[in-house]
Amino acid sequence: MTVSRPVRMGLLRLTDSAPVIHAQTAGLFAAEGLDVTLSVEPSWANLADKLSYGLLDAAVMLPPLVLAMALGLRPAAARLIIPMSLSQHGDAVTLSNELAEPILAGGRPDDAEAGRRLATLLRARAQANGPRVTLAVVHAWSTHALLFKRWLHAAGIDPQADVDWAIVPPADSVAAIESGRIDGFCAGAPWGAVAAAAGVGRTVALSSDIMPGHPEKCLAVREAWAEEQPEALQGLLRALLRSAKDCADPANTPAIAATLAQPTFLNLPPDIIAASLPGGAREGVGQDTDVCRFAIPEATRPTLAQARWLLDQMARWRDLPVSAAEADTLATRIYRPDLYEAAQAVSISPY
């Protein structure tokens, strides 16, 4: 198979970029005859813009952001498809030491109890006319925002009325907590562990506890590119399926962590990254990070159920400019399990 020009893929400095980074460094894309160039971007906005303007063909994306782009909820609307999910879990709720210490006293409680303890702290603050709490997420249309709000709501905290919100990139969260500008954040691995290692906060809840099996990152592809290059897309999916299988195997964690740690990718200590890869234990540095899941097919198959859940959660906290029926039509257009299944069917090994 020959492909005329390189496939341009974008990603951010996160553990769950592993399937794409490993596929590149282990030569899995090359084995499919694909010439792939990876671009490590500084923000979700960059990934979204570059997909919109056709400067990237595919990217590791937040599925709510892909849906928001299709709904025209950010300036550059775009037609994207999701032919594969990439991961589950991996997000952590990290609070300032002041808030986290009373919650973690006597060891970390389960996520529901942690939420109740936070609610008690917030009520005490409000009664004492103390300062309001500001919480941060990495993007307005992120799985983090949906899961954080779900956890707060379950604990009896009104995410709209009881707290203030900020958008802060994970790498800036450490400085933002330290300066007191924010009191907590929810970000993808390994940034909770990075904040804890810097001594500015502790993780009180993990997204795998808040909603076991929740969808996290997805592969977003420009619809026009997918239509022009159907064979390249199938090769991409086959390579990513092989890569996901490698990433899901705890035996590969040390090697994959070492790759991700490189300056051109995450540029972070390998032990912090390893704690958020399969097999990572919830002790030491692992206490402050969730473990990403790349299992096949649960974490990789893009299902309509995922799309419906995401749209439902988005509509719960924000106004969506579409009816339930329109949302369903949109979900069917964007989520493409048919393309995933075609790639899985011809993959060389049974997954």
Q: Give whichever of 160 and 329 is closer to another protein, judged by the CB atom.
A: 160
Burial degree of 263 (CB within 10 A; 0-12, 13-18, 19+) = exposed
Q: Give whichever of 44 and 340 is closer to another protein, judged by the CB atom.
A: 44
Q: What's the CA gap between 194 and 246, in Å, rounded?
A: 25
Site for another protein in 179-238 (CB under 8 A): 179, 181
The answer to the question of residue 165 lying near another protein (CB under 8 A) is yes
Q: How far is the CB of 42 from another protein (least distance, A)?
A: 4
Site for another protein in 15-74 (CB under 8 A): 42-46, 49-50, 52-55, 74
Q: Cα dihedral sign for 176, 178, 179, 183?
A: positive
Q: How far is the CB of 165 from another protein (least distance, A)?
A: 6
Q: How far is the CB of 347 from another protein (least distance, A)?
A: 35
Give the one residue of 167, 261, 295, 322 binding another protein; rule: CB under 8 A: 167
**Cα 210 to Cα 90, 100, 162, 253, distances in angstroms:** 11, 17, 20, 24
Query: Which amino acid is residue 290, in one-letter code?
Result: D
Q: What's the CA gap between 244 and 265, in Å, rounded?
A: 18
Q: Which of 9, 41, 36, 15 is nearest to 25 (CA)?
A: 36
Q: Give whichever of 187 and 248 is closer to another protein, judged by the CB atom.
A: 187
Q: Report residue 346: phi and psi, to 5°.
A: -105, 5
Question: How many residues sit in the footprint of another protein (CB under 8 A)?
Answer: 30
146 contacts 311 by C-beta, under 8 angstroms:
no
Give the one residue of 112, 140, 224, 295 binding another protein; rule: CB under 8 A: 140
Q: Which residues of this protein are in contact with another protein, per CB under 8 A?
A: 42-46, 49-50, 52-55, 74-76, 138-141, 165-169, 171-172, 175-176, 179, 181, 318
